[in-house]
Amino acid sequence: MSTDPLQPLDDPDHPVLTMSQAAELLGVQAAFLRSLDSSGVLHPHRSPGGHRRYSRHQLERAARVRGLLDDGHQLSSAQVILGLQDELADARADAAQARGERDATGGGPDIAS
């Protein structure tokens, strides 16, 4: 049985990008990514040598923060907005799953009188 050595690249949580690569992809300075780390917005993986490594999910989060900052939000409000957006997305996913389970068991929509 052979394993694909590139399979981790398909994992959006696998930290593969260096700070300079991440900054280049996002079109930001490395200092921006360091500030997100120090403020707790991002928690990049650290290599054995202490270097930051970023995953695709972390880059998506950094891009969302960048967009909010560009829209004039402070970093603290951007963090709150991200948290609320993530909670809403989770709630929507939970509701969709519950509807799917209900429909799979033959239950119909609830009808209020």
CATH number for the domain spanning 43: value is 1.10.1660.10
User: For residue range 4-16, what is the model confidence (pLDDT) as tens digits?
Assistant: 877 777 888 888 8
46 belongs to a structural domain: yes
Spatial separation of the C-alpha atoms in residues 64 and 47, rounded to whole Å: 25
The residues of the chain scoring below 70 in pLDDT are 1-2, 107-113
How many structural domains compose the chain?
A: 1
pTM summary value? 0.77
Q: Which domain holds residue 45?
A: 12-103
- Start-to-end CA distance of the chain, whole Å, equals 59
2 belongs to a structural domain: no
Counting beta carbons within 10 angstroms of the beta carbon of residue 17, is it exposed (0 to 12), middle (13 to 18) or buried (19 or more)? buried
* pLDDT value, residue 39: 92
29 belongs to a structural domain: yes
96 belongs to a structural domain: yes
21 belongs to a structural domain: yes
